Amino acid sequence: MKHNTERKWWKEGVVYQIYPRSFQDTTGNGIGDLQGIIKRLDYIQSLGVDIIWLNPVYTSPNDDNGYDISDYRNIMAEFGTMDDMDELMTQMKKRGLRLVMDLVVNHSSDEHEWFVESRKSRDNAYRDYYHWWPAEKGTPPKRFSYFDEDSNAWKYDEPTDSYYLHYYSAKQPDLKWENPKVREEVYDLMKFWFDKGIDGFRMDVISTISKDVNYPELPEKYKGDFIPYYADGPHLHEYLKEMNQKVLSKYDVMTVGEAPGVNQEQALNFVDEDRKELNMFFHFDLMSLDREPGETFKMRKEQWKLTEFKKVFSEWDGVFAQKGWGSLYLNNHDFPRSVSRWGNDSKTHWQNSATLLQTFLLSMRGTPYFLYGEEIGMTNIKFDSISDYQDINTHSRYKAIKKAGGDLETFLKEEKHAGRDNARTPMQWNTQHNSGFSEAKPWLKINENYKEGINVAEQEPEKDSVLNYFRTMVQVRKDHLALVYGAYQLLLANNELVYAYLRSWEDERFLVLLNFSTKRSSVTIDEVRFDKAHLIISNDDAENNKIDNHFELTPYQASIYKVF
Ligand code: NOJ
């Protein structure tokens, strides 16, 4: 049976991702907080979005900005209290906004009481909550770690003369899902939050929770690439099914797993409705398009091509054409700003490329996710100096290159395009001090272009601003279910300048034309009758440039036609 036209709130919803540290400070410490989000709820509601995804707000020593949790049932002091959280939920409900929290359970913080106990002795009750390798067995087989200077995921721990496993920093030890007690702990904390009334979880690196606890050498077939190996653990789907059966199936909630290392053949194993696991996941194919093969953060030399971009989206649409459901994103807190990466952040093209990307994401099949600030076209900050960066990822890679006597200059040049902090700079609210984000020095520098029109206050009254275009385009998607559920048909597959496709559902059909280039581009579309084409939205004066089925598109022009 064809599932994917079955209507669901999480298919029709538009998601707005908030990095709480960077959204709005109300306490004057330079760090965003929950009261800040509450203060901005009317604004968020005015965007027309439906769901807020909050990056982690739990108690954390912040080695990785909250992705290292020391108490899953409490709120990080810098962000506020559980009362603030309750108030946020009440205020969101009043406005019809749903809340999706981050579930970070591949690892905890080393300051979580489970790990504090676990490392005390080999016979501690919590010993088996984590992955340990006794030193008398020699050095453990190589495992890759993202944030370790030596890329070594095993850290020697003196008190018990053993190594523990950490795919991320040494302060993020991996939880041992093979232990049923760990799984029960996770299910309990999920229930705790669902019973409080949240509407779903974005599941951090959920693809890597299952490990072969014999810790063998990396099997040949992974050709030295650890990430697909991590995503192919022996009991992964057993655990996801169990989680669904014991927790998820009891609530009306949405789930979206972050799934590095998962390929198209494996995709439906996660989201085929009949398997009862997750609703959606984030693949990494677009995020690795302009990167070296097998490298998440290292830029490749050649510029990405539009045909490659189309291929990623078209193939993934095909994966979910009958079953499952896609999630669409062009950036998040781990990857650079969309307009700087897939559009063009020069003065001339910033506005139209930002609105083109919005048109794209909001006219594709799948649930669209926007990162705070994307609605006003926020851009990469492109720091010059290592001291401007706060991110553990940039710092650990910098140290590794330094240690190896590598080329730091090139690294810093590339990091202007790849660094995660590009996407984490404070929200640009107005032209006042610190752009209205905070009275105090912000935890991460604000992009100075808040003084040049990239801020909410100045865009608010402007009819054609990036912000108001976003609102209109969200409404266009809401008004036409074909843009949510309709079949997708790629046109002009080999064109390197224009992305064109049809979306059709029941008696409605739409043509989307996107000129992803700085050149005027003309295209001829044979698939539709243009005498009856009716313009729905455009970020430029499209009608003037159309003669029959021949279009002349201005740089970064985006237009949608209702067609027959
Ligand atoms: C993915 C998260 O999005 C990222 O920010 C984090 O550093 C890692 N997972 C580790 O939790």
Which atom belonging to ligand 1 lies closest to the Cα atom of 168?
Answer: 10
Whole-number Å distance between alpha carbons of 141 and 163: 11
Are 324 and 338 found together in one domain? yes
**Do the domain assignments include residue 443?**
yes
Both tokens of residue 361? 């994401």
**Which atom of ligand 1 lies at the shortest distance from residue 64's CA?**
7
**What CATH number is attached to the domain comprising 122?**
3.90.400.10
- Tally Cβ neighbours within 10 Å of residue 214: 7
Nearest CA to ligand 1 atom 11: 67
Q: At 218, list the tokens.
A: 């990396």
State the Cα torsion 134-138-141-144 to the nearest 10°. Answer: 70
Q: Single out the residue in 130, 165, 200 at which a domain terminates.
A: 165
**Which whole-number Å values give the CA distances from 544 to 266, 472, 513, 550, 553, in the listed order?**
46, 21, 15, 11, 10
Query: Which of 334, 390, 420 gets mutated to test ligand 1 (max ligand atoms within 8 A of its CB)?
Result: 334
The answer on 140 and 90 residing in a single domain is no
Based on the fold, state whether residues 335 and 464 are members of the same structural domain. yes
Do 312 and 349 lie in one domain? The reply is yes
Probe target for ligand 1 pocket from 64, 69, 171, with the most ligand atoms within 8 Å of CB: 64
Ligand 1 atom nearest 104 alpha carbon: 11
Question: Which of 412, 439, 470 is where one domain is finished?
Answer: 470
Q: Which long-range contacts (C-beta less than 8 Å, at least 24 apart) are formed by 497-503?
A: 497/306, 497/521, 498/306, 498/523, 498/553, 499/306, 499/309, 499/310, 499/360, 500/525, 502/527, 502/528, 502/563, 503/363, 503/365
Q: How far is the CA of 68 from the centre of ligand 1 (A)?
A: 9
- 416 — pLDDT class (breaks 50, 70, 90): very high
Pocket test for ligand 1, best of 65, 67, 100, 424 (most atoms within 8 A of CB): 67
- In the reported structure, the alpha carbon of residue 284 is separated from the centroid of ligand 1 by a whole-number distance in angstroms of 13
120: its two tokens: 């005390």
pLDDT digit string (tens) for 437-453?
A: 999 999 999 999 999 99
Rounded average pLDDT over 192-219:
98
By the 8 A CB rule, do 266 and 242 touch?
Answer: no
Nearest partner of 162 among 197, 194, 118, judged by Cα: 118
- CA-nearest residue for atom 8, ligand 1, is 67
H or E element in which residue 324 lies? none
The three-state secondary structure class of 406 is: coil
Find the mean pLDDT for residues 111-129: 98
- Going by C-beta distance under 8 Å and a sequence separation of 6 or more, which residues neighbour residue 183? 177, 239, 242, 243
Q: For residues 30 and 119, state if they share a domain.
A: no
Residue that is last in its domain, among 165, 189, 204: 165
Question: Strand order of the sheet with strand 550-553?
Answer: 521-524, 550-553, 546-547
215: CA distance to ligand 1 center in Å? 23
- 393, containing H or E segment: helix 392-403
Q: Whose CA is nearest to atom 2 of ligand 1?
A: 204
Residue 130 domain boundaries: 113-165
Tokens of 481: 């279910």
Query: Radius of gyration of the chain from Cα atoms?
Result: 24
Do 537 and 420 share a structural domain? no
CA of 349 to the centre of ligand 1 (A): 31
**Predicted confidence (pLDDT) per residue in 350-398, tens digit:** 999 999 999 999 999 999 999 999 999 999 999 999 999 999 999 999 9
* Domain-embedded: residue 481: no
User: What local confidence, expressed as pLDDT, does residue 246 receive?
Assistant: 98
Closest ligand 1 atom to residue 392 Cα is: 7
Cα 322 to ligand 1 centre (Å): 30
Give the mutation target among 205, 335, 397 for probing the ligand 1 site: most ligand atoms within 8 A of CB.
205
Looking at residue 100, which CATH number applies to its domain? 3.20.20.80
Same domain, 285 and 356: yes
User: Measuring from each residue's beta carbon to the nearest atom of ligand 1, which residues come in under 6 Å?
Assistant: 64, 67, 104, 168, 204-205, 258, 333-334
Task: Tell whether 222 and 262 lie within a shared domain.
Answer: yes
Please state whether beta strands 254-258 and 200-203 pair in parallel, antiparallel, or not at all (unpaired): parallel
Same domain, 429 and 524: no
pTM of the model: 0.98
Phi, psi (rounded to 5 degrees) for 248: -60, -40
| Domains contained in the chain, number | 3
Mean pLDDT in residue range 459-466: 97
Nearest-CA residue for ligand 1 atom 6 is: 67
Question: Could you tell me what percentage of the chain is helix, strand and coil, using 3-state DSSP and rounding each to the nearest 5?
Answer: 35, 20, 45
Residue 527: both structure tokens together: 């698939």
What is the position in ligand 1's atom list of the atom closest to the CA of 258? 1
Whether residues 97 and 220 share a domain: the answer is yes
The pLDDT tens digits of the residues spanning 479-520 come to 999 999 999 999 999 999 999 999 999 989 999 999 999 999
Residue whose CA is at the smallest distance from ligand 1 atom 5:
334
Ligand 1 mean position to 375 CA, how many Å? 23
400 in any annotated domain = yes
Cβ atoms 520, 504 nearer than 8 A: no
Summarised one tens digit per residue, pLDDT across range 516-556 is 999 999 999 998 877 778 999 999 976 667 778 888 999 99
Q: Are residues 504 and 556 in the same domain?
A: yes
Nearest residue to 529 (alpha-carbon basis) of 546, 541, 516: 546
- Within-domain flag for 480: no
Read off the tokens for 121.
């002795």
Ligand 1 atom having least distance to the Cα of 67:
11
Decide if 138 is inside a domain: yes
In a domain, 213, yes or no: yes
Going from the Cα of 264 to the center of ligand 1, the distance in angstroms, rounded, reads 22
Q: Which residues carry out catalysis?
A: 204, 258
Interval between CA 351 and ligand 1 midpoint (Å): 30
Quick check: 45 pLDDT over 60?
yes
- Alpha carbons 286 and 312: distance in angstroms, whole number: 6
Clarify whether residues 122 and 261 are in a common domain. no
* Cα–Cα distance for residue pair 383/418, rounded to 1 Å: 11
The strand ranges marked E within 209-344 are 254-258, 280-282, 327-329
- Cβ-based burial of 221 (10 A; exposed 0-12, middle 13-18, buried ≥19): exposed
353 touches 343 (CB < 8 A):
yes
